[in-house]
Each structure stands twice: as structure tokens, then as C-alpha cells.
Copies of this chain bind each other. A is one copy, B any other.
Amino acid sequence: MSKTEKKITELGKKMVKEIEEGKSPEFESTLRTKSNTLYDEGIGCLRLGDKKESRKFLSVAQARTFMQTVAIAAKTRQFLEQNLHTSIRGLFYQLKFSLGENMDEELFSEQAESNALIEDLEVALKVKREDLNLTTDRKGFVAGPMKIRDKFGGDETIIDCAKQGRSGWSIPSDVDNDMEIEKVNAKYVLVVEKDALWQRLNEDQFWKKENCLVVTPKGQSTRGTRRLLRKLADQKLPIYCLMDCDAWGWYIYWTIKTGSMNLAYLGRDFAVPEARFIGVTMSDIEEFDFLKKLTIKAKDVDLKRAQEMMDYPWINRHKEWVKELKMVLKTKKKIEQDALQGQRLTFVGEYIKDKIENKKWLP
């Protein structure tokens, strides 16, 4: 029986005992509200505070979700016993089959940023949903000198991320269970926001020339990509990020670095406080003349986000970021990473090398 199975079993036994004693079954979880979300300076990431809340069965407001959460615990324990995985949507149909019509399908959408019931269980049991055999959306790619041992579905496969041609290795939903980094022989990890730029760098064999790993989250990072970056940072590899200089690019960076407000409950396991932002920055315009022609008009969302970021204490403590954001607000311009190809397609690699070698990055 796995550690997670044991935890679910213990939760169940505790509730049975409460019922036998004539008490209302309940379980304790950590409060997932903005007021209980804090930036942990010591670790350098967002996490939940200590405030607890109790979910009770004998409560008109909570009875239905309590019952559904317990049903999820029972189902996922079964998945663990069977050694089978499914998605959140698959779980929804399993519950619908058992519990009937009374299910809120919106709660089990892959797209929903927070799946409240599953989060309850993750927080209460101190496990990840991946440990409950629930698969999540996957999106990112890696190329470079790393070998992965994948013991999925009984077969053992070694994936060589240096031998994946134009495609790269697709970062799976779960990089922890039945999977390990067999060997990594890189000097650093480069994270580029967009797949298109990743393909550009892969074509230039940037990772081979630089002996690094090139990762793309393909936009916002999935849980799998964040976990992989955490594991690589644990191996003392520097993590450099190249994002768009706009609302979305900054958000992607800060989610990798400190986590996000919504997913603060994940804490350090999914955050990489060591991450550094090498570009694209407004200051680049001063250094690289051709970029002047290639800025585009910032949208309202970019300006709003820049303003918001200056209010976050974990961002405005860095004067380099404040300077950047002020330039955006003043010029009302933005720069996309794709612009680095404007003059010469192969320029992007030179840009990255210059940034890293000369330590030109934002914290």
C-alpha cells in the first residue's frame, strides 16, 4: 500500500470512528483564501498560512461537498489499488456513475483553474493530485543532455532528451511517480515561453552548443513542467527564463518562480525561487538598436498587470523589476520574444549567451 493509500485509509477510519461515536464526521484542511496566502521570504515563494478550516458532514452548507470529497477519496484510493490513472474528467464520470445526477460537472473541468474538491483532498492529506493517480493537462517540451527513466505501465523506458529530433520530449503530467531523472549533464536550464522559439533554438542546436537543457512550457506552465523545473533546480542547475515583455510573459515567469495566488497551496514543490529572468526587457531596446523598430503597442491588460505587479511586495522589493515596469507604463510599449528574430533568425541564441555570460538578468 502506497503512502497516499495509507493516508486516505486513515482519513476513512477516522471518519468511521466519528460516526460510531455518534459524532459528525469531519476533516481538517488549510484555509485557501487570499487572507491565508502569504509570501514566504525564507523560501521565496507563495504558500498558505496556518489558518485551518474544518469540513463537516452535519452542516447544511457543507454536506453535499463533504460527501463528494469523501467520494473522491474513495475513488482515487481505488485508482491507486488498481494502479490505473485517469483525468479529472474521467473522475467526474466515475462519480456521476456512482452518485448519479447530483454532480456539478463544472467542478471537474480540466480547464477550471481550481478544482475545489480535489484541492481540499490535496491540502487535507498533504499529497499532490498526481499522487492520487489523477492526470492533468500536459504541454511543455525539453531538449538537451538529460535521460529520463520512465517506468510507466510496467514497461521501463529510457528517454534520451538529446535524441528527440525536432519534437523534443513531451513533459508528462506527472514527473514524480514511476519516473526519475536518470542523468542530467547540462550547465543550465533555459526556459523559453513559446514553442515557436523553442523550435528555433532546437534547429540551431543551441542546447548542444551550450550544453544546456532548453525547455518550453508552451505558455503558462503546467504542473508537470513546474515540478520538473523544481527537480532540476534541486540538482543545482541555474534556471534562466526568456519570456515576452508583457502581462502574460511576466505572469508565466512569476508563476514559475514564486507560484501564483490561486495555486499557493502547492507551495515550494511547484516553485523555483532560484529562477532568473534574462529577457525580453524594455532595457534591451537601449542595447539592441534593431529592437526599437520591433516594439508593439501595449494592451490595457499589460498596463494593468504592470501596475498590479508593482504592488506585490515580492516583486516591488526588486528595484530592477520596478524600473522595468515603470518603463512599460511610461512608454506604453511591449516586446515579444519573437521580435529577437526580426533582424536575423539566429540572433536569439547570441542574445541568450550574452545575457547569461554577462549576468544580465532580473531576479
Binding site for B on A (CB under 8 A): 79, 82, 84-87, 89-90, 92-94, 96-97, 100-101, 105, 110, 135, 137-138, 141, 148, 150, 152-155, 157, 159, 163-174, 179, 194-196, 199-200, 202-205, 290, 293-294, 296, 336, 338-339, 341-343, 345-346
Contacts and interface: CB of A to CB of B under 8 A. Distances in A.
A139 B358 CA distance: 36
A206 to B, nearest CB: 10
Contact of A110 (B110, B154, B196): B196
Contacts of A174: 166
Given A97-B290, A204-B153, A87 B166 contact: no
Number of copies: 2
Contacts of A296: 105
24 contacts: A82-B345, A84-B345, A84-B346, A85-B203, A86-B200, A89-B196, A90-B200, A90-B338, A93-B338, A93-B339, A93-B341, A96-B342, A97-B293, A97-B343, A135-B199, A138-B195, A153-B203, A153-B204, A154-B205, A157-B163, A157-B164, A167-B170, A167-B172, A170-B170
Given A87-B200, A155-B165, 20 more contacts: A84-B203, A85-B200, A87-B194, A87-B338, A89-B194, A90-B196, A90-B345, A93-B339, A96-B293, A96-B294, A97-B342, A135-B196, A135-B199, A138-B195, A153-B203, A155-B205, A159-B164, A159-B165, A166-B174, A167-B170
- Mostly helix, strand, loop or mixed at chain A's interface? mixed
A17 to B, nearest CB: 31
A93 B165 contact: no
A-B complex: 4 closest residue pairs judged by Cβ atoms: A150-B165, A87-B196, A93-B342, A152-B166
Contacts of A171: 167
A106 to B, nearest CB: 11
A159 to B, nearest CB: 6
Given A84-B203, A105-B296, A92 B153 contact: no
Contact of A338 (B89, B100, B148, B203): B89
A60 to B, nearest CB: 27
Determine which residue in A97, A171, A174, A204 has the highest number of CB atoms from chain B within 10 A of its CB, and name it.
A97
